Amino acid sequence: MKFLVCISNVPDTTTKITFTPDNKELNKAGVQFVINPWDEYALTRAIELKEKLGGNVTVLNVGEADTEPNIRKALAIGADDAIRVNAKPTDAFFVAQQIAAAAKDGGYDIILMGKESIDYNGFQVHGMVGELLGIPTVAPAMKLDLEGNTATLEREIEGGKEIVEVSGPFVVSCQEPMCEPRIPNMRGIMTARTKPLKVVEPTGEAPRTQVTEYALPPKKQGVKLIPAESAGDLIKLLRNEAKVI
Amino acid sequence: MSVLVVVECDNGEVKKSSLEVASYGSQVAQMLGTTATAVAVGEATEANLASLGEQGISKVLYDNDSRLKDFVNGAYTKLIAAAAQQESAQIIVLANSNIGTAVGSRLSVRLQASLATNVVELPKTDGGQFVVKRGAFSGKAFSDVVLSGERKIIAVKKNSMEPLHNAGQTATVEQFSAQLADADFADAPKQVIMQEQAGGILLPEADKVVSGGRGMKGPENWNLIEDLAKALGAATACSKPVSDVDWRPHHEHVGQTGITVSPNLYIACGISGAIQHLAGVNSSKVIVVINKDPEAPFFKAADYGIVGDVFDVLPKLTQAVKELN
């Protein structure tokens, strides 16, 4: 079984977001980048399935050379080899084309990724890759099991879940509680250094969206405190002042 | 050229988020001097579809193929693509829901369209460019995005548009068929399991949410959360530690790796406000925090706060809501 896991390089959850003076890009100064938390579910589940059934896990990232520490981290967690597409991940369609191109070359059985990235919050790449390759997408999945050539998945829908069976190659976007994401151990970190990391150049058509400006949300006024003794006053404020009830 | 809106239905009803989508779509159509047609998916009734006229929709296409009652990514994509073709739609508007984004992302490739998800406002079309504002960085920022493709797909974030109230307006409902083949049902569900919804209100759709954290001390105390939620007509939710220890089910977990909500009112009870939790709730319009620790970081993100014991404060709030009603 050949697994392709797509990972995104994103600012750590605790990052205070600021932008470059022209507001066109994230200000990366002092920002710690991590593997997108949703992608960790995809990576760990692929490794678990490989350990059970045999096979190979390849990680793929679309990014410039500065993403390599996180690609090595994915190798340390247990992926076998890696591909870096040497380009800025400008938009979802651009990234999806890179993944689809790599998937065509590699003959993967299952393409996994997180349900969205915590920076762009696109929720787009999985569907685009599935469509580019002409294979089903199951998104977002809370559970993924394999038996022979058939995968059984739980897909979350608003208010419930669907049990879906898919055979043949497919794309899946992952979320909790699929597995408990792993962290690298010392042996993993040592072996990751020598695992193959191939760098390829991008391909495909130009992006179809362009970010012109980033902005921060308006600042909150500050909290209005109501004494616990007169808690009921809060309800009056919510009706008369905030007008939300 | 027209605008096509995708309307999700459940148990015969049009989902609230889809009313917002229809409102968005008809307003875009008005901006562009054209009409908005809807294509409905899920289990719908003709009367409910006709009432989309109140949202400014003139016509609703509906395929009553029973295989389309539950979500199937492949078939829904083909159905909506066929509707877009028939209506010569240049703009497709759908909900930023699990269904909407799964279908929208496939459609964008099939129709060679520009796609923007998580959109929070009507587009700006000055200077010949089509620009939408969308949420990014898990609620910490917004971005303006130019959709440069000839066709455009917009997924509208829940609770960012008001439904319209054009009383008495009705849409015509037309039977529509996309000639679906078995291959379009490769991801058809074998089984659909719906959750019990507290008070019948779906958390991702709710405009009021009452949420509990570890400060609730145990699942046996959740009646305090449920009582307030019931009085307010709110959905209930919880923090990650609470669902991790199984006090509450996973589908109630809001936060970075759970559900993202953006209700008009979010009441956090005994939740400290870790950044991972805030990422799931920070685009709520009004945030109320009840916590006995005055240093809880959540107060910094709150509009209203009560420093106090949830076991003392919650019954008072429930009582006050009942008196108000």
Q: What are the angstrom distances between the C-alpha of B93 and each of B14, B85, B151, B193?
A: 15, 15, 11, 28
pLDDT at A32: 97
Interface of A with B in 70-109 (CB under 8 A): 92-93, 96
Whose CA is closest to B264, among B174, B191, B160, B151? B160
Residue B196 has pLDDT above 80, yes or no: no
Please tell me whether residues B179 and B212 are part of one structural domain: no
Chain B interface mutation, best of A40, A158, A178, A213, highest count of B Cβ atoms under 10 Å: A158
**B74 — contact with chain A (CB < 8 Å)?**
yes
DSSP state at residue A207: P
Assess B151–A contact: CB distance below 8 Å, yes or no. Answer: no
Chain A hits for B204, CB-CB cut-off 8 Å, are 158-159
CA distance A194 to chain B (A): 32
Do B147 and B205 belong to one domain? no
Q: Minimal Cα–Cα distance from B320 to chain A, Å?
A: 5
DSSP A104-154: HHHT-SEEEEESS-TTT----HHHHHHHHHT--EEEEEEEEEEETTEEEEE
Same domain, B257 and B117: no
Three-class SS state of A177: coil
Q: Among residues B230, B232, B206, B229, which one has the least CA distance to residue B285?
A: B206
Q: Is B67 annotated as a binding residue?
A: no
Q: Is A22 on the interface with B (CB under 8 A)?
A: no
Does residue B171 share a domain with residue B289? no
Q: Residues B21, B93: contact at Cβ < 8 Å? A: yes
Determine the pLDDT at residue B199: 65
Over residues A192-215, the mean pLDDT reads 96
Indicate whether B140 pLDDT > 80.
Answer: yes
Listed residues B121, B151, B185: the one ending a domain: B185
**pLDDT class of B285 with cuts at 50, 70, 90:** very high
Let me know if residue B211 belongs to a domain.
yes
d(CA A79, CA A71): 9
- Whether residue B148 is annotated as binding a ligand: the answer is no
In the predicted model, is pLDDT for residue B200 greater than 80? no
Q: Report the mean per-residue pLDDT for chain A.
A: 96
B276 is in an annotated binding site: yes
Nearest CA in chain A to B146: A210
Q: Give the one of A17, A128, A210 whose C-beta lies nearest to B109's C-beta.
A: A128
Looking at the 3D structure of chain A, how many domains does it have? 1
CB contact A68 to B (< 8 Å):
no
Mean pLDDT of A20-34: 95
Do residues B96 and B154 share a domain?
Answer: yes
Size of interface A-B (CB pairs under 8 A): 261
Minimal Cα–Cα distance from A68 to chain B, Å?
22
Q: Please tell me which residue of chain A has the smallest CA distance to B149.
A: A208
Q: Which two tokens stand for residue A78?
A: 């247990």
A138 interfaces chain B, CB cutoff of 8 Å: yes
| Per-residue confidence band for B201, with pLDDT thresholds at 50, 70 and 90 | confident
How many domains, chain B? 2
Is residue A48, in this structure, part of any structural domain at all? yes
Separation of alpha carbons B315 and B320, rounded Å = 9
The domain that holds A6 is classified in CATH as 3.40.50.620
> ∠ at Cα B163 (B158, B169), nearest 5°?
145
Domain membership of residue B39 (yes or no) is yes
Band (pLDDT 50/70/90 cuts) for residue B198 is low
Is the CB of residue A238 less than 8 Å away from at least one CB of chain B? yes
Give the domain CATH number at B232. Answer: 3.40.50.1220
Read off the CATH number of the domain in which B124 is found.
3.40.50.620
Q: Are strands A110-114 and B89-95 parallel, antiparallel or unpaired?
A: unpaired
Residue B234 shares a structural domain with residue B299: yes
Let me know whether B163 and B211 are in one domain.
Answer: no
Say if residue B112 carries a ligand binding annotation: no
Q: pLDDT band at A158, cuts 50/70/90?
A: confident
**Contact between chains at B99 and A157 (C-beta distance less than 8 A):** yes
CB contact under 8 A, B104 and A126: no
Task: List the single residue in B with minimal CA-CA distance to A14.
Answer: B275
Does A161 fall in a domain?
yes
Q: Is residue A240 part of a domain?
A: no
Q: Would residue A233 count as lying in a domain? A: no
Residues B47, B149 share a domain: yes
B283 and B249: one domain? yes
Question: At residue B325, does pLDDT exceed 90?
Answer: no
Amino acid at B325: N
- Residue B31 pLDDT more than 90? yes
A125-145 confidence digits (pLDDT tens)? 999 999 999 999 999 999 999
CB < 8 Å to B130, chain A: none
Owning domain of residue B235 = 198-324
Which ipTM did the prediction report?
0.94
Share of residues in chain A with pLDDT > 90 (%): 93
Confidence of residue B195 (pLDDT cuts 50, 70, 90): confident
For residues B248-253, average pLDDT: 90
Same domain for B22 and B101, yes or no, is yes
B181 & B209 share domain: no
Chain A interface includes B267 (CB < 8 A): no
Structure tokens at A202: 């991008």
* Residue with the larger pLDDT of the pair A81 and B197: A81
- Domain boundary residue among B185, B211, B234? B185
Closest to B190 (Cβ–Cβ): which among A165, A232, A237? Answer: A165
Task: Say whether residue B237 is in contact with chain A using an 8 A CB cutoff.
Answer: no
Last residue of a domain, one of B129, B164, B185: B185
Residue B224 lies in a domain: yes
Q: Is the pLDDT of residue B289 over 70?
A: yes
Q: Which residues of B touch A156 (CB under 8 A)?
A: 98, 251
Computed over every residue of chain B, the mean pLDDT equals 95
B300–A223: do the CB atoms touch at under 8 Å? yes
Handedness of CA B79, A174, A37, B268 (dihedral sign): positive
Is B135 annotated as ligand-binding? no
Strands A150-157 and A137-147, bridge-based pairing: antiparallel
* Mean pLDDT of the B8-12 span: 93
Q: Could you list the residue range(s) of the whole structural domain that residue A165 is in?
A: 2-217
Establish if B205 belongs to a structural domain: yes
Does the annotation list B85 as a binding residue?
no
pLDDT digits (tens, 9 = 90+) for B63-114: 999 999 999 999 999 999 999 999 999 999 999 999 999 999 999 999 999 9
pLDDT at B115 over 80: yes
pLDDT digits (tens, 9 = 90+) for B207-228: 999 999 999 999 999 999 999 9
Q: Of A242 and B167, which is predicted with more confidence?
A: A242
What pLDDT is stored for residue B136 in this prediction? 95
Question: Which of A119, A223, A228 shows the shortest C-beta gap to B313?
Answer: A228
Domain annotation covers residue B190: no
Are residues B180 and B206 part of one domain? no
Within-domain flag for A225: no
What does each C-alpha distance from B239 to A57, A82, A97, A228, B258 come to in angstroms? 33, 35, 36, 23, 9
Is B56 known to sit in a ligand binding site?
no
Residue A239 pLDDT > 90, yes or no?
yes
- Is some CB atom of chain A closer than 8 A to the CB atom of B160? no
End-to-end CA distance of chain B: 48
Task: Write the CA distances from A158 to A23, B9, B24, B93, B194, integer angstroms.
Answer: 35, 11, 21, 18, 9
